[in-house]
Amino acid sequence: MLKRTIYIGNPAYLKIKDLQMLVIDPASKTTKGTIPMEDMALLVLDHYQITLSHQLLIALQGNNVVVISCDAHHLPFAMMQPLYGHSEFSERIQCQLSVSDPLKKQLWKQTITQKIRNQQGLLALLDKPYTAMDSYKNAVKSGDSSNMEGIAAQYFWKHLFEDFSRGRYGDAPNAMLNYGYAILRSIIARGLVSSGLLPVLGIFHHNKYNPYCLADDIMEPYRPFVDKMVYNYLQTHERTEELTKEQRCYLLQIATQDVLIDGNVRPLMVAISTTTSSLYKCYTGEFRQIKYPMMD
């Protein structure tokens, strides 16, 4: 069964009863809805007047539900998840800690090659110029020492949107992209924990202030699926500098988008589990290739 992303954007009191999360209106004290704990994957809290019981938080963590808190701009600001989510946690962490630098560089090469391939696939799907991406994709070296990721990104953004410059604080649709990536990052982190891996130990990213280095690594080939959603949205809607509630709710659907992975069409959230599981098997030597989705 596909897990659900739950968005709370109004004042609410959240509690647990009979393995159900109850959403209660604090003004009328009436129950507005119930969600089975086992159905949830992400809980997005996007209002300052939301209260949770500690019993609910423990239950959420026990069910490997990621709790995302949003800031005043409605952007994901903090993430809470269990310290571990696999029965072989200790053994798997020891394996992760022992991964060699040459293997990390090869895994990063695979990651960037697939990211560029997916960017190229999206351009082709949208009838945009894409053939130049072949040279970038084929030139990726171990550890991407020649920075083909950055070169390919310049070409990609130039041809995906008109009059657009990609930046964290730039013009629209940067806010939509940032929000979609933040949700994607949370889903990736959840998948890593479920596979018994520490999100902080990256294969390329290693910023000492970043607790999600590995999530930032693994999400790279998944980014074009967010880009695709944003592009499709803008075909029927005007660009807005401020992120609207409609846009946020739309982007939360990223978890259920169908993607092609390992020869099968799967929801993105399921595909991420395939990816994180294959990553661990690369660490152990059982696999030589990370299983990433393809932009068909």
Statement to judge: residues 53 and 146 lie in one domain: no
What CATH number is associated with residue 57?
A: 3.100.10.20
Statement to judge: residues 287 and 143 lie in one domain: yes
Statement to judge: residues 115 and 169 lie in one domain: yes
**Which residues span the domain enclosing 122?**
89-294
Statement to judge: residues 197 and 217 lie in one domain: yes
Q: What is the pLDDT of residue 84?
A: 67
Residue 66, strand partner residues? 42
What tokens appear for 69 in the block? 């808190």
Q: What is the pLDDT of residue 261?
A: 97
What tokens appear for 184 in the block? 């994607």
Q: How far apart are CA 226 and CA 223, in angstroms?
A: 5
Statement to judge: residues 65 and 207 lie in one domain: no
- Which residues have a Cβ under 8 Å from the Cβ of 207 and sit 6 or more positions away? 213
Residue 288 gets which letter from DSSP? S
pLDDT digits (tens, 9 = 90+) for 167-199: 777 788 999 999 999 999 999 998 998 898 989
What CATH number is associated with residue 102?
A: 1.20.120.920
Statement to judge: residues 156 and 49 lie in one domain: no
pLDDT digits (tens, 9 = 90+) for 80-118: 877 766 667 788 889 999 999 999 999 999 999 999 999
The residue out of 80, 110, 126 marking a domain boundary is 80
CB 117 within 8 A of CB 137: yes
Statement to judge: residues 125 and 211 lie in one domain: yes
Statement to judge: residues 123 and 210 lie in one domain: yes
Listed residue (174, 205, 175, 172) closest to 188, CA to CA? 205
Total domain count, the chain: 2
Q: What DSSP letter does each residue of 20-49 carry, written as one string?
A: EEEEE-TTT--EEEEEEGGGEEEEEE--TT
3 state DSSP class of 12: strand
**Can you give the three-state secondary structure of 238-276, one letter per residue?**
CCCCCCCHHHHHHHHHHHHCEEEECCEEEEHHHHHHHHH
Statement to judge: residues 143 and 176 lie in one domain: yes
Q: Long-range contacts for 35-40 (Cβ within 8 Å, ≥24 apart)? A: 35/4, 35/6, 37/63, 37/65, 38/63, 39/1, 39/3, 39/4, 40/3, 40/4, 40/6, 40/65
Q: How far apart are CA 1 and CA 132, in angstroms?
A: 40
Measured CA angle at 253 (ends 86, 289), to 5 deg:
50
Statement to judge: residues 135 and 55 lie in one domain: no
Q: Which residues does the chain have with pLDDT short of 50?
A: none
Q: What is the pLDDT of residue 1?
A: 61
